[in-house]
Each structure stands twice: as structure tokens, then as C-alpha cells.
């Protein structure tokens, strides 16, 4: 699963694995780690869904 992409201007952003929204890793407040990899979320609701079943969103 790809969790980053480059947008206009060459800026690299993370992709929220739940809602697929672009999120700025430098300013985002909601993160989780799973199997040594860091995931970024747009809101606490997306983080909560991921934390309940991370395997579902990382395969």
C-alpha cells in the first residue's frame, strides 16, 4: 500500500489510509505506528478506525 505521494510543487504528502485524504506530515496531529511504519490521519475518527483493525488497511 502506498502511503505517500508527490503533489504540485514537488511537495510530498502522506495519504490517510482510511479516507485517502492528503495530509501534511509536518503539521498533522494524528498518527499511529504499525509494524514499524508510521501512518498519518486527517482526523481522530480515521485514526480510531485504523487502530481498531490496522491489518485491514495495510495489506
The pLDDT value given to residue 2 = 67
pTM of the complete model: 0.82
Q: Please, are residues 5 and 13 in contact by the beta-carbon 8 Å criterion?
A: yes
Q: Is 28 left (phi over 0), alpha (psi -120 to 50) or beta?
A: beta
Where in the chain are the domains? Answer: 4-58
pLDDT score of 57: 93
Q: What is the pLDDT of residues 42-52, one digit of tens each?
A: 999 999 999 99
pLDDT, block means (10 residues), the chain with 59 residues: 70 90 90 94 97 93
Amino acid at each position: 500500500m502506498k502511503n505517500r505521494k508527490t503533489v504540485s510543487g514537488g511537495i510530498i504528502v502522506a495519504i490517510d489510509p482510511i479516507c485517502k485524504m492528503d495530509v501534511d506530515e509536518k503539521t498533522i496531529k494524528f498518527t499511529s505506528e504499525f509494524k514499524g511504519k508510521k501512518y498519518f490521519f486527517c482526523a481522530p475518527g480515521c485514526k480510531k478506525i485504523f487502530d481498531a483493525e490496522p491489518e485491514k488497511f495495510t495489506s
